[in-house]
């Protein structure tokens, strides 16, 4: 920047060495407020450190918005609107109930490619590294015949807790899918991007002291599939996941499940389940993406891009 300014801020997440969004004297905020010099607790303040809400975006965190290089190279004094994420156009698509195939970025791209006779750029297949554990070494599947769905399982080992970056936070907040669980946030992002439905289970909570465990897939009376491990109920595919089976932020080994269930089965079975996940059911009832490898590869590539995580 061209000068050094003193700015008073009471946000709890302010710390030294951060890159933050600053509104200087004369700036007009989205709510119409003009930034002026002021005295706060007797100290001169020449601007404001901004939260995402104050800048007209959805809420991404408590306190001021912390910038990171997921949005681009950070440079002191650079105008925030020169970063693409802050100077972008949002397209809101309203779909009829029979177009569940378009409830994702991939689905919309596929439909446009077909309509306009364009080539569709498919996501790159994920190349497994050391972070993706041999699923057969720790997990066995016991599946009944003639299930009304598809399944894909992978296991990854996490080195520690993490927070998703600002780019993903802004995108998830925009679609009202940003939560406090970082693993669940990545699943939501992969679903929004590819249309594939996911569940994630904590290996330790499932297997206890056992080195190997079995996930059972059983067909229920109304055609839906129950996922369980020993005596623990994990989920009804496409309807809801048991909260106790979900990963925590400190989970070490995560079992990721991509699943697809025939929407006609969901339409019949959902009325028999009091517990339902509205966002999951909204997709599965209309037909989620059945190309599970596509979604799983996309999700694993996101995990791999997070520094020092896997």
- Does 208 have pLDDT greater than 70? no
**Comparison of pLDDT for 132 and 261, the residue scoring more:** 261
Tokens representing residue 290 in the block: 């059945």
Ranges assigned E (strand) in 51-165? 132-133, 139-143, 149-157
pLDDT of 127: 78
Q: Say if CB 261 and CB 246 are below 8 A apart.
A: no
- Does 144 have pLDDT greater than 80? yes
pLDDT of 24: 92
pLDDT of 3: 81
Is residue 299 left, alpha or beta, with left meaning phi > 0 and alpha meaning psi from -120 to 50? alpha
pLDDT grade for 136, boundaries at 50, 70 and 90: confident
- Does 299 have pLDDT greater than 80? yes
- Does 189 have pLDDT greater than 70? yes
pLDDT of 11: 93
pLDDT grade for 40, boundaries at 50, 70 and 90: confident
Q: What are the phi and psi torsion angles at 284 (to 5°)?
A: -65, -35
Residue 47, number of CB atoms within 10 A of its CB? 20
For domain 100-305, the CATH architecture is 3-Layer(bba) Sandwich (3.50)
- Does 131 have pLDDT greater than 60? no
- Does 1 have pLDDT greater than 80? no
Q: Where are the domains of the chain?
A: 1-88, 100-305
d(CA 106, CA 283): 14
Distance of CA 22 to the CA centre of its chain: 27
Q: Say if CB 45 and CB 8 are below 8 A apart.
A: yes
pLDDT averaged over the chain? 91
Beta bridge partners of 197: 259
pLDDT grade for 210, boundaries at 50, 70 and 90: low
d(CA 295, CA 292): 5
Consecutive H or E run containing 205:
helix 203-207
For the chain, what is the radius of gyration of the CA atoms? 23
pLDDT of 147: 95
Q: What is the pLDDT of residues 260-269, one digit of tens each?
A: 999 999 999 9
CATH pick for 1-88 out of 3.30.10.20, 2.40.50.140, 3.40.50.1370, 3.40.50.300: 2.40.50.140
| pTM for this prediction | 0.91
Question: 3-state SS of the chain: helix, strand, coil percent to 5?
Answer: 30, 20, 50
């Amino acid at each position: 920047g061209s000068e050094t300014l003193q700015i008073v801020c009471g946000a709890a997440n302010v710390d030294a060495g951060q890159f933050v969004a600053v509104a200087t004297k004369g700036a007009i905020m989205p709510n119409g407020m003009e930034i002026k010099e002021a005295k706060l607790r007797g100290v001169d303040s020449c601007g404001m450190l901004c939260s995402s809400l104050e800048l007209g975006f959805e809420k991404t965190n408590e306190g001021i918005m912390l910038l990171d290089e997921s949005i681009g190279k950070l440079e002191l004094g650079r105008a925030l609107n020169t970063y693409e994420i802050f100077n972008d156009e949002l397209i809101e698509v309203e779909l009829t109930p029979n177009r569940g195939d378009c409830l994702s970025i991939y689905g919309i791209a596929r439909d446009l490619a077909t309509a306009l006779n364009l080539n569709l750029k498919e996501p790159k297949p994920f190349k497994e590294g050391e972070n993706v554990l041999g699923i057969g070494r720790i997990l066995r599947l016991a599946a009944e015949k003639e299930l009304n769905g598809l399944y894909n399982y992978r296991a990854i080992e996490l080195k520690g807790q993490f927070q998703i970056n600002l780019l993903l936070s802004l995108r998830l907040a925009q679609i009202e899918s940003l939560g406090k669980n970082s693993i669940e946030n990545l699943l939501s992002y992969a679903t929004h991007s590819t249309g594939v439905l996911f569940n994630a289970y904590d290996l330790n909570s499932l297997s206890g002291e056992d080195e190997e465990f079995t996930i059972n897939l059983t067909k229920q009376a109304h055609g839906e599939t129950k996922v369980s491990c020993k005596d623990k109920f994990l989920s009804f595919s496409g309807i809801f996941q048991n909260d106790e089976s979900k990963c925590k932020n400190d989970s070490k080994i995560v079992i990721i499940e991509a699943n697809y269930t025939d929407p006609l089965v969901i339409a019949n079975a959902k009325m028999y389940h009091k517990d339902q996940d509205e966002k999951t059911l909204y997709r599965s009832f209309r037909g989620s993406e059945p190309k599970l490898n596509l979604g799983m590869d996309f999700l694993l590539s996101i995990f791999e891009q997070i520094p020092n995580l896997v």
